[in-house]
Chains A and B, each alone.
Chain A
Amino acid sequence: QKEVEQNSGPLSVPEGAIASLNCTYSDRGSQSFFWYRQYSGKSPELIMSIYSNGDKEDGRFTAQLNKASQYVSLLIRDSQPSDSATYLCAVNIGRKGSGGGADGLTFGKGTHLIIQP
């Protein structure tokens, strides 16, 4: 079972509409969840972090977390062409046997989002 799953897309959304990106994770004990945006050929940049069940809003972005369903989502309101990118869901998953105390994050494959002008 994959640890962090995302629909690879592409997800096409008209400009001004709401883009909805989804992610599921396998480790029920995960506590930290992040959304990163990655433009082609660039490194990821942090968009949102969420730690508690419910919604967290930051400007046009809203992250939603449901730990019971092991589900985290990102909503982008008033989508702009500049939002076109790959969105990576990242989870702090406890990794047995890998050693080290401060694990890195486990990333999904990302959802390719296209905002159509």
Chain B
Amino acid sequence: KAGVTQTPRYLIKTRGQQVTLSCSPISGHRSVSWYQQTPGQGLQFLFEYFSETQRNKGNFPGRFSGRQFSNSRSEMNVSTLELGDSALYLCASSLVWDYRAYEQYFGPGTRLTVT
């Protein structure tokens, strides 16, 4: 079974631009979560989607948005990029969201550099 795929793997953007990152979950998985990982702040939760509905959102500004499609694929968008948005963006998928038996599989991430 193929794992979680994220595209692109690497991206360089300029301040003020916007970017869209894509995540394809493991086949059959309906929950997709996004995280931002930086050396200073560690791994921080962005949002979680299940069946096209956002069920929770982290403490990030409105410039960060996401969506999930009917095939469970997900995208996240960052508008008006700032230097501080440089990070590794990770996507994780799971079959269902049950905190007692939650198995979350991460993709390799998209490394975003903002110059």
Are A and B associated in one complex? Answer: no
Binding site for B on A (CB under 8 A): none
